Amino acid sequence: MEKYKLIAMSGSLRKQSFNTALLHSIIELARDDFDVDIVSIELPLFNDDLIDPDEPEEVASLKQTIREADGLLIVTPEYNHSIPGVLKNAIDWLSLEPGTPLRDKPVMIAGASPGLLGTARCQIHLRQVFATNRANVLPGNEIFVTHCKGKIDDSGLHDEQSITQIKKTLSEYYKWIEFWKRNAKN
């Protein structure tokens, strides 16, 4: 089976981030089918004026990296019932036409929160933002790691129910990428 190349972003810059730890566990669970590279989303604050004459080098390079990947994996916390600013800032940079690398890109989303809803509200907003950019977010297959303080530690994710859900979602995501590749050829 062909291994797909994913670019991954954590929506948290925190060193002890639950979401970055979750991302590393997802990468481990995905390793038979996917090669995953984590990219930094520490970009300048979006400003249309910075695009003229050229966008910042790190933005151009991130766009190219995503363009070359088979899919984009987002693992993020929820801030104030929505998308953390640092991640939204990166998406705003990536969304610019011409040549947004988000267009037609298969996207998978996951998140962890110490709370009851496990980033559900943020993920709804992300789906809306990606739809605007005509990215192909994997339908259904939502990964919400709720009450994550008891499930994720320094060595990663230890919750069997979440692990089962992630494995199932990764398998669906593989098929989702395959589907869009077939579709693109026809």
Ligand X SMILES: Cc1cc2nc3c(=O)[nH]c(=O)nc-3n(C[C@H](O)[C@H](O)[C@H](O)COP(=O)(O)O)c2cc1C
Residue ranges binding ligand X (CB under 6 A) = 12, 14, 17-19, 77-81, 113-115
CB of 42 to ligand X, least distance (A): 14
CB of 87 to ligand X, least distance (A): 11
Nearest residue (CB) to ligand X, 14 versus 31: 14
Nearest residue (CB) to ligand X, 76 versus 133: 76
CB of 149 to ligand X, least distance (A): 8
Q: Which two tokens stand for residue 54?
A: 């050229």
CB of 11 to ligand X, least distance (A): 7
Nearest residue (CB) to ligand X, 91 versus 177: 91
CB atoms near residue 92 (< 10 Å):
15
Residues 6+ apart with CB under 8 A from 116: 146, 147
Nearest residue (CB) to ligand X, 59 versus 145: 145
Q: Which two tokens stand for residue 60?
A: 């151009």
Residues 6+ apart with CB under 8 A from 76: 9, 10, 11, 12, 19, 83, 84, 87, 109, 110, 111, 119, 122, 126
Amino acid identity at 71: G
